[in-house]
Amino acid sequence: MNLPSVNKGAASGEVGQRPPESAPKLKSTNLDFYYGTYKALQGISLSIHPNRVTAFIGPSGCGKSTFLRTLNRMYETVRHTRAEGEILLDGEDIFALEVSQLRRRVGMVFQRSNPFPKSIFENVAYGPRVNGTTRKADLQERVERSLRRSALWEEVKDKLHKSAYDLSGGQQQRLCIARALAVDPEVLLLDEPCSALDPIATAKIEDLLFQIKDSCTVVIVTHNMQQAARVADYTGFFLLGKMIEFDSTKVIFKTPSRKETEDYITGRFG
Amino acid sequence: MASSASRTENTRPRRVSRFLTRARGVEAVAHGVAFLAASTIVAITALLVFELWINSALSRHKFGWDFLFTSTWDPISGQFGALPFIFGTVVTSALALLISVPLGVGAAIFLAELAPPKISDALTFCIELLAAVPSVIYGLIGIFVLIPALQTIVPPLKSVFGFLPIFSGPFYGVSIFSAGIVLAVMVVPFIISVSREILLAVPRDLREAALALGATRWESTWDVVVPFAKTGIVGSIFLSLARALGETMAVTMVIGNTPRIQASLLAPGYSIAAVIANEFREAAGDLYTSSLIELGLVLFALTIVINGAARLLILATTGKAAS
């Protein structure tokens, strides 16, 4: 329905239906994932392009969030999980990187807004602080820049030292985005970031994604197909732990090559 | 209430009306039962205060406020002052918290955040067993294990810190110090098991949000999880404080039962609960009995004041975090 807006946001490479052949930011090859003995992902191979928004869609339990959580190894906080295969970040094996270093480069925003029990300022300053920024002026500069990038600055600049819990749900989620942006991540992962928000707050976050992709590669999981159509340059469709189809958003929504994708897009199931 | 309900229902179809009346009947009964249960608690508390107040009238009239601020406890000449007991109660409880809070909170963080789940569950089971040990057993362990051990530990401690008033004077074993340690051991299981539950209840995504910024596991625990759980942890500490203030048996076995105020922790002392338990049966004369009952009133007030202060403290600190 809002498909034309996709094309404005997406850059070159749409005409030939093939992704541009720039070096991928993240590249997953034959990735399998297990919860205990249950195989949740099977042989996922795909490339995520720099400075683009990539969306993963699919019905609940299809593995899209699980895949997202392997990209910064966040799955490791859950016991009895295991990933096999290869994921490269700028050509480097993420399983060989030091995990806190990886997560500083690959930030994450969660489904439920989850500000820390601290002030607005301290929420945003936390990431730079744990990564070694201590000078007050530097922190202030970073906090302001991050809050501006997440379009929250004008709303909170007079109450930076109020509790983050005083903000509305939509503001809290934008605060969480500002918090993630404060460490200048190369990739930002968003796990259904708008599922608890009203349409106006959702629209604000979607606008935001357009802006931050200039400086950052964005990967978003959503159960809302219209959202994927609106914000994403590329879309991957997951079903039962498999990546069914991955292509530019326009192709996925207009001329999918797989029947499963078409059925899902047209609402025949899911 | 019932009559007004049935009057408004008259205009509606009869079956609906009957259903509503019945539903309201059930509602009223449930409401009544719950109200009765709740008011029983209030009534018991009020009755407790009332009895303590009435039965301590003799002592209250004779000594007035001086009862709280004098330290002579002489049943023979009929002079009764509560200060040594208040002192003993407060100091032993404070000492107990000083020891048990770092130990208990540290253990809870270990069990909730760092230990493998199987080890954590096994240790938690042991800790909950400790909480079920009767206090007389703790008293016996105090006499037969703790005090002999302290008699070898304290002399070298005195040779180093002897210049401090709190480590001055001779050490006979039974003392405020011993009572504080026994109390610490008794309350530490409460702090651990309650704090652990609270830490485990902190939402997982809050922890992950810190990890996602490049924080280490310990940084996410200390900077985010513990502050989130702070109010609950403080609550577990006050629960323990309430137990320490009122603990009778174990304290009376190791405190020395001497109604005197001394600066040294190594000196014997007395606590309110201990003196009531020890002397009530032998109390000769109405004034003596009445004074012991007034001590009970004082303990009750002390508990309320300390808990109230604690609540204010929580409000103040969480209020500060929020602004």
Amino acid A125: pLDDT: 95
The Cα of A103 is separated from the nearest Cα of chain B by a number of Å equal to 5
Domain match, B31 and B129 both: no
Q: What is the DSSP letter of A213?
A: T
Q: Which helix (H) or strand (E) holds B23?
A: helix B14-55
Instruction: Answer whether residue A13 is part of any domain.
Output: no
ipTM: 0.85
Residue A124 has pLDDT above 80, yes or no: yes
Q: Which of B117, B206, B214 sits opposite A131 (nearest CB)?
A: B214
Q: Which of B210, B214, B230 sits opposite A101 (nearest CB)?
A: B214
Strand ranges across the sheet with A92-93: A38-48, A26-35, A81-89, A92-93
A6 close to A230: Cβ distance less than 8 angstroms = yes
Alpha helices in chain A (DSSP H): 3-9, 64-71, 99-105, 120-130, 136-149, 153-156, 169-181, 199-212, 225-231, 249-254, 259-265
Domain match, B24 and B147 both: no
Amino acid B4: pLDDT: 46
Query: Which residue, among B153, B232, B146, B151, has the nearest Cα to B185 in the 3D structure?
Result: B146
Residue B130: helix, strand or coil by DSSP? helix
Residue of A nearest to B220 (CA): A130
Strand ranges across the sheet with A242-248: A106-109, A187-191, A217-221, A53-57, A234-239, A242-248
Enumerate residue ranges in chain B where pLDDT < 70: 1-13, 317-323
Residue with tokens 């039974």: B174
Sign of CA dihedral A94, A99, A101, A102: positive
Domain with residue B270: its CATH number is 1.10.3720.10
Q: For chain A, count helices (H), then strands (E).
A: 11, 10
Q: How far apart are CA A176 and CA A196, in angstroms?
A: 14
DSSP string, A92-143: EETTTS-HHHHHHHEEEE-SS----SSBHHHHHHHHHHHTT---HHHHHHHH
Beta-carbon separation of A77 and B117 below 8 A: no
| Helix, strand, coil share of chain A (percent; to 5) | 40, 25, 35
Domain match, B50 and B179 both: no
- For the segment A99-119, what is each residue's pLDDT rounded down to a tens digit? 999 999 999 999 999 999 999
Give me the phi and psi of A185, to 5 degrees please.
Answer: -70, 155
Containing domain of residue A64, as a range?
A: 26-265
Give me the phi and psi of B69, to 5 degrees please.
Answer: -115, 5
Domain match, B92 and B188 both: yes
Q: How many domains does chain A have?
A: 1
Containing domain of residue B233, as a range?
A: 68-322
Q: How far apart are CA A262 and CA A225, in angstroms?
A: 12
Q: How far apart are CA B55 and CA B57, in angstroms?
A: 5
Q: How many domains does chain B have?
A: 2
| Chain A interface residues (partner B, CB cutoff 8 A) | 72, 74, 77, 79, 100-101, 103-104, 107-108, 110-112, 114, 116-118, 126-127, 130-131, 161-163, 165-166, 176, 179-180, 182-183
**Mutant choice from A103, A129, A219 vs B, greatest count of B C-beta within 10 A:** A103
| Chain B interface residues (partner A, CB cutoff 8 A) | 117, 203-216, 219, 223-224, 227-228, 230, 321-323
Contacts of A68 (CB under 8 A, 6+ apart): A56, A189, A191, A219, A221
The Cα of B202 is separated from the nearest Cα of chain A by a number of Å equal to 11
Domain with residue A142: its CATH number is 3.40.50.300
- For the segment B236-266, what is each residue's pLDDT rounded down to a tens digit? 898 899 889 999 999 999 999 999 999 899 9
Domain match, B140 and B217 both: yes
- For the segment B107-142, what is each residue's pLDDT rounded down to a tens digit? 999 999 888 888 999 999 999 899 889 999 999 999
